[in-house]
Amino acid sequence: MKKLSDLAKTIRSKNAGVDKITFDVIFTDRNVYDRVRRSKALTRESVATLYGIDESRIAEFVEYDPACAIKFTIYRLRPSGSPGDPDIFGAQQYAPLLDIAVDI
């Protein structure tokens, strides 16, 4: 088992408009990317569980082979910058992804 943060070059989150946050997990090695995809450690279902959200809040989940990247976007509970928004830029939401255990 390895942590996702040990396998991916980049793990980040950022705004994707006023009502969404997008996440990118990018790999430099095609073989590692393929092994992570096949492990099913990072799926629409696992993201929903990890973030404690209903799957309906996941707008998109894409395994983007040309970039060796797994990308997903979630709907915010409130618009970016509105009262009660804990992260106006969406840049601090990736942390739970770092410790995902991947069986490769």
Is 68 exposed, middle or buried (CB count within 10 Å of its CB: 0-12, 13-18, 19+)? buried
Q: Where is average pLDDT lowest: 16-25, 31-40, 47-56, 81-90?
A: 81-90
Segment 17-38 mean pLDDT: 97
Residue 55 lies in domain:
2-102
Interval 65-100: pLDDT, tens? 999 999 999 999 999 999 999 899 999 999 999 999
Nearest partner of 68 among 102, 19, 31, judged by Cα: 31
Q: How many CB atoms lie within 10 A of CB 102?
A: 19
Contacts 24+ apart (CB under 8 A), 56-62: 59/20
CATH number for the domain harbouring residue 66 = 3.30.70
Number of domains comprising the chain? 1
E-assigned strands of 17-97? 20-26, 58-64, 69-75
- Decide if 101 contacts 42 (C-beta within 8 A): no
pTM for the full predicted model: 0.94
Task: Extract the tokens encoding 92.
Answer: 């601090």
